[in-house]
Amino acid sequence: MKYVIIKLEEDMTLRDFFSTIGMDEHPGRYFFSNFHLIYLLISLIAFIVLFRFLKKQSKQTQNKYISGFLILMIILKYAGEALFIYEYYFVEEVYSSYQHSFWDVNTFFSFQLCGIMNIILPIVIWFDIKPLKDFVFATSILGGLAVMFYPVTVLYGTPFMITLPILRSTIVHFFLVFIPLFLIHRGDFSFNKYRWHYIALGLILTALWATFGNIFIDPTANNMYLFENPFLNGPIPVINTLPNGWHVLFLAVAVTFGYIIVYHLALAFENKKVSFKKLTNRRF
């Protein structure tokens, strides 16, 4: 037992924490395995505990916590980029496919859907940009849930070893789901099915942005999975058999269905007392 403890201490060094080894290896290995189910369970418990804790606080205190969470998301976003930049300059044999130089568009912006939301969600909330809330809130929730149920970069490598990329992905995608749903429950925002065109327009513009990144910035990036099917021969039925190009049709249907699920999930989180109070205030 003593030998095992010493060995673990030797293996789990600070260098290992700041490593991207394993990020792109075996994406389907832990899909709904015991590790994946434990990860989902921990996320669910954390969601419930944090949700109940915030509900007991004043609105001013809630806003401070939410701002803190948003700042943490941004810090983790660029901490990850700093790691990829370090890998580009100082690691002879790079581990991940995300490494890039400092003077690179990827340092400051993102072409992946969740990465874009990571940057835009704080801006939309802090500056209360109402025209963007339908798309940003819905897409943040959808993107966060998608990564939780298909653990991209979360459970790659060794689940026993917590690394910065794993911690970054876990926390960021958790808050992409948690923050919009909490604000919806608080009454700050509610979806309206007649504003669906805002979501459609936002998704089209995001896809065009990702396509620009795929063509002109990094042709190997496959942002938003538009050019190549990353699920080919993977564990997800149907899409694991579709050739490149045809998989986009499946993704379009899946994303549309996902937005419908998000809409009904948001309805379930709405505080009926707050919604009724707003309705009566508008009438009288």
pLDDT, tens only, 26-59: 778 889 999 999 999 999 999 999 999 999 999 9
Does an H or E element contain 264, and which? helix 247-269
Output the pLDDT for position 277.
52
Q: State how far Cα 243 lies from the chain centre.
A: 26
For 210, the token pair is 């990702």
Nearest C-alpha neighbor of 179 from the set 40, 37, 54, 61 = 54
Q: Residues 22, 157: contact at Cβ < 8 Å?
A: yes
Over 90: is that where the pLDDT of 212 sits? yes
Cα distances (angstroms) measured from residue 196 to each of 8, 56, 133, 192, 263: 51, 33, 12, 7, 10
Distance CA 130, CA 59 (A): 19
| pLDDT > 90 fraction of the chain, expressed in percent and rounded | 72
| pLDDT > 70 fraction of the chain, expressed in percent and rounded | 92
3-state secondary structure of 165: helix
Q: Where do the domains of the chain lie?
A: 12-283
Does an H or E element contain 186, and which? helix 164-186
Question: In which band, very low, low, confident or very high, does the pLDDT at 2 lie, cut at 50, 70 and 90?
Answer: very low
Output the pLDDT for position 284.
36
- Per-residue pLDDT tens digits for 145-175: 999 999 888 888 788 888 999 999 999 999 9
Nearest C-alpha neighbor of 116 from the set 126, 105, 127 = 105
For 46, the token pair is 């954390």
Distance CA 252, CA 212 (A): 19
- Per-residue pLDDT tens digits for 220-251: 889 999 999 989 988 889 999 999 999 999 99
Amino acid occupying residue 177: V
User: Dihedrals φ, ψ of 236, to 5°?
Assistant: -90, 120
For 208, the token pair is 């065009």
Amino acid occupying residue 195: R
* 201 vs 2 pLDDT, higher one: 201
Over 90: is that where the pLDDT of 8 sits? no
Question: In which band, very low, low, confident or very high, does the pLDDT at 78 lie, cut at 50, 70 and 90?
Answer: very high
Output the pLDDT for position 6.
46
Distance CA 268, CA 265 (A): 5
Output the pLDDT for position 261.
97
Amino acid occupying residue 159: P
Output the pLDDT for position 126.
98
Q: Residues 142, 256: contact at Cβ < 8 Å?
A: no
Output the pLDDT for position 93.
84
